Amino acid sequence: MADLMEKIVSLCKRRGFVFPSSEIYGGIGGFWDFGPLGVELKNNIKSWWWQTMVQIREEVVGLDSTIIHNPKVWQASGHTLSFTDPLRECKSCHQRFRADQLKGEKCPECGGKLTEVKQFNLMFETFIGSAKETANKAYLRPETCQGIFVNFANVVDTIQPKLPFGIAQIGKGFRNEITLGNFIFRDREFEMMELEYFVKPGEDEKWFDYW
Ligand SMILES: [Zn+2]
């Protein structure tokens, strides 16, 4: 399997689909650039998705919200507290592992002792304001749907949709994954295509089946 993945990664590079980000400076784990063919493929998928999910559907509208929200958004959604993975670090080689993926009590790389399990928040932190000491901590969004939820009232007030209706968004998301792998299937910066579909209470099963 690892062998096959290596072949796919190198084929994608040779054909100009996906390159490792910052490659001439040693690369950067979990970040990938889309090359000349990759960007065309990605744009085709995005525009097909937008056409079929938003433009031809009367009950779905689009949105393009910011990557950085007021941090209160992530408190309200529970991400500040619980958007975490269990983390253990090797006391010898300092590699970090997801506790739920470890087998046994020793470092799989060097056999060293591991720290206790800590909860590691996967949101990338950044700072708003010019002086870092007094600036406000903020986060790069780990998902696009919170931008939809916090604009729910704006959309209802302006478009006045009838239930059921949907709000869709395409955009970047960021997750500071502890362990990487599987090429662009688990990376730290990625693009999401997301639809939130709002229905009358009690009709959720029906609409779930419909989709
Ligand atoms: Zn180790």
Ligand 1 midpoint to CA 98 (Å)? 13
Which residues lie below 8 Å from residue 164, measured CB to CB, with a gap of 6+? 59, 197, 198, 199, 200, 203, 207
Specify the fold of 12-83+122-210.
BirA Bifunctional Protein; domain 2 (3.30.930)
Strands (E), the chain: 18-20, 32-34, 60-63, 84-89, 96-98, 118-121, 125-128, 136-139, 165-174, 189-198
Give the start-to-end residue ranges of the domains of the chain.
Answer: 12-83+122-210, 84-121
Give the pLDDT score at 1.
Answer: 66
Mark the residues whose beta carbon lies below 5 A from ion ligand 1: 90, 92-93, 107, 109-110, 112
Q: How confident is the model at residue 147 (pLDDT cuts 50, 70, 90)?
A: very high
Please say whether the beta carbons of 172 and 66 come within 8 A: no
Ligand 1 midpoint to CA 130 (Å)? 38
Ligand 1 midpoint to CA 178 (Å)? 15
| Pairing label, strands 125-128, 165-174 | unpaired
Give the pLDDT score at 132.
Answer: 67
CA dihedral 198, 48, 158, 69 (to 10 degrees): 80
Ligand 1 midpoint to CA 95 (Å)? 6
Ligand 1 midpoint to CA 29 (Å)? 18
Ligand 1 midpoint to CA 83 (Å)? 26
Ligand 1 midpoint to CA 126 (Å)? 29
Which residues lie below 8 Å from residue 75, measured CB to CB, with a gap of 6+? 81
Give the pLDDT score at 181.
Answer: 72
Ligand 1 midpoint to CA 102 (Å)? 12
Question: Tell me, what DSSP letter sits at residue 101?
Answer: G
pLDDT, one tens digit per residue, over 153-209 is 999 999 999 999 999 999 999 999 988 878 898 899 999 999 999 999 999 999 999
Ligand 1 midpoint to CA 37 (Å)? 39
pLDDT, one tens digit per residue, over 63-121 is 999 999 999 999 999 999 999 999 999 999 999 999 998 988 999 999 999 999 999 99
pLDDT, one tens digit per residue, over 39-65 is 999 999 999 999 999 999 999 999 999
